[in-house]
Amino acid sequence: MELRSSGEARQFNEDRFTKEDFIKSERTTVFLLNFQEGQEMRPHSHPGRELVLHVMEGSGTLSVDGEEMPFAEGQVLHCGPEEQVGFVNGKDGKACIFGTLTRIDK
């Protein structure tokens, strides 16, 4: 068992978004993605892993396999291992996204 506060992973950088891991196990990584205004995460996939993202604060534009859509506080996304996921933060302040990556056994 491991109990942590997500607040310790809320670390922002003026130059680029940050990914702060705060729980790691053999199969799962729990992290926060922290974005300043206008920062972006380029589309990429996570082969062999499932991804869940939950917007805790802010909003922006989510891209999944080239399809763009709004992604705002309270929304949750689940992606399979081959889907390309990206995010661009809006101009209305910071965004903080809680995420998990879980290894898939085949």
Q: Which two tokens stand for residue 43?
A: 């589309």
Residue 82's domain comprises 35-106
DSSP assignment of 31-90:
EEEEE-TT-EEEEE--TTEEEEEEEEE-EEEEEETTEEEEEETT-EEEE-TT--EEEEE-
The position carrying tokens 């995420």 is 99
**Does 7 reside within a domain?**
no
- Residue 106's pLDDT is 66
- Residue 2's pLDDT is 83
Query: Residue 96 maps to which CATH number?
Result: 2.60.120.10
- Residue 105's pLDDT is 84
**Does 77 reside within a domain?**
yes
User: Structural domain tally of the chain?
Assistant: 1
Instruction: Per-residue pLDDT tens, the chain, 106 aa: give them.
Output: 888 888 888 999 999 999 999 999 999 999 999 999 999 999 999 999 999 999 999 999 999 999 999 999 999 999 999 999 999 998 889 999 999 999 998 6
**Does 19 reside within a domain?**
no
**Does 103 reside within a domain?**
yes
**Does 1 reside within a domain?**
no
**Does 53 reside within a domain?**
yes
